[in-house]
Amino acid sequence: MTKKIQLNDEQWKTLQALYEAAARRSPTDSIKVSSRLRSNGFVASDQRGTFFLTDQGLSRLSQGR
């Protein structure tokens, strides 16, 4: 189980936005991702700079706000 790291409203909304973008196959380049989400392993990016949730990010999202 992923440690439940405290997220502020903006970080939580970012995780939700990335999840919804993936579900709709929408681009994520307009979503601002904080370095904290990346450093905690919740979000990663590919060579094109497209952001996506990692398994750890999905796990954290499933834990609820």
pLDDT in tens, 14-64: 999 999 999 999 999 899 999 999 999 999 999 988 999 999 999 999 988
Contacts of 29 (CB under 8 A, 6+ apart): 49, 50, 51
pTM: 0.87
**Tell me, what's the pLDDT at 64?**
85
Where residue 42 falls (left for φ over 0; alpha for ψ -120 to 50; beta otherwise) is alpha
Average pLDDT over residues 1-19: 88
